[in-house]
Amino acid sequence: MDSAVTKSERETLKAIYRLTSGQGAGLSAHTGDLADRLGVTPGTMTSVVKRLADRGLVDYTPYRGVELTPGGRRIAVSVIRRHRIVERFLSDMLGYAWNEADRLAPSFEHDLPQEVEDRLFVALHRPSTCPHGFPIPEPEVSDIPAMPSLYALEPGDTAVVAMSGSTDQDMITFLDTLGVRPGVEVEVREKHPFDGPIVLRVDGHDRTLGERVAEQIFVRKTPRGTKQTIAAGTDNDHRKEQAL
């Protein structure tokens, strides 16, 4: 990771990537959306973006938005890799729930020397997913495979659940009562037409979710006829399982 990039610049690159990834080449992130996501003023956000543009890490056109350059994408993905490794450390080694790990990771991840990140990864047995269920990218890559929403699946499909740290807490609590949490494998039993509900098989039980909720859950599809056990990273009962 480029040590010359400041914490605020890394968080900005990460936010740009997350706002634009998987939505088509050339799509820009608006500075107002970035400011809202990072909790800063629009003026502060514009100053950071201009610094990144001066260093060749983003392309910025006022009133049109910000795009990552190839160099900016590589740094953004490396920041996401470190964030997910630190989340896994907080979950697996210290027992934090997956959404708590997401909140705490930025408080110290940027201060880690690269060698500490590398040793953490090895000590955690080289996990391939974070506690949310999203992939930990390989070093020196510039993209992370997109994950479809749960609602994009069809009857007969099976997949492993992933959930964003921005998921509403009430929704997390509701889904947890249904057994739908990061790392859990689900099978689509039914999908009603015209944006109707979707019926899942979860741990031997049928569970019904509406379209709005299912669109906010991400999944990693699994080949039909296979069964996988994934480290959910959501509580102490799951955090010792082996990661996907």
Instruction: Please write the tens of the pLDDT for every residue from 197-236.
Output: 999 999 999 999 999 999 999 999 988 655 554 444 444 3
Does residue 243 sit within a domain? no
Q: At what angle do helices 70-92 and 7-20 cross, to 10 degrees?
A: 100
Cβ contact 91:98 at 8 Å: yes
Distance CA 145, CA 128 (A): 13
Domain that holds residue 63: 7-68
Query: Is 30 a residue whose pLDDT tops 60?
Result: yes
Q: If you count DSSP H runs as helices and E runs as strands, how many of each does the chain have, helices first?
A: 8, 7
Cβ contact 77:17 at 8 Å: yes
CA dihedral 136, 5, 38, 69 (to 10 degrees): -70
Last residue of a domain, one of 68, 93, 120: 68
CATH of the domain at 189: 2.30.30.90
* Nearest C-alpha neighbor of 149 from the set 194, 195, 103, 105: 195
Last residue of a domain, one of 68, 90, 118: 68
Which amino acid, 80? Answer: I
CATH of the domain at 64: 1.10.10.10
Instruction: Please write the tens of the pLDDT for every residue from 152-165.
Output: 999 999 999 999 98
Query: Is 195 a residue whose pLDDT tops 60?
Result: yes
Does residue 213 sit within a domain? yes
pLDDT recorded at residue 228? 54
Does residue 58 sit within a domain? yes
Last residue of a domain, one of 68, 96, 121: 68
pTM for this predicted structure: 0.84
Instruction: Please write the tens of the pLDDT for every residue from 91-113.
Output: 999 999 998 999 999 999 999 99
Tell me the pLDDT band of 53, cut-offs 50, 70 and 90: very high
Mean pLDDT of the chain: 88
Does residue 169 sit within a domain? yes
Cβ contact 134:147 at 8 Å: yes
pLDDT recorded at residue 27? 73
Query: Is 151 a residue whose pLDDT tops 70?
Result: yes
Cβ contact 115:184 at 8 Å: no
Does residue 64 sit within a domain? yes
pLDDT recorded at residue 26? 53
47-76 mean pLDDT: 94
Answer with the residue of higher pLDDT: 166 or 151. 151
Tell me the pLDDT band of 244, cut-offs 50, 70 and 90: very low
Instruction: Please write the tens of the pLDDT for every residue from 137-146.
Output: 999 898 998 8
Query: Is 177 a residue whose pLDDT tops 50?
Result: yes
Which amino acid, 173? Answer: T
Does residue 75 sit within a domain? no
Does residue 52 sit within a domain? yes
Q: Give the phi and the psi of residue 19 in degrees, each rounded to 5.
A: -80, -20
Tell me the pLDDT band of 3, cut-offs 50, 70 and 90: low
Kind plus residue range of the DSSP H or E element containing 221: strand 218-222
For the chain, how many structural domains are there in total?
2
Structure tokens at 16: 């740009």
Does residue 85 sit within a domain? no
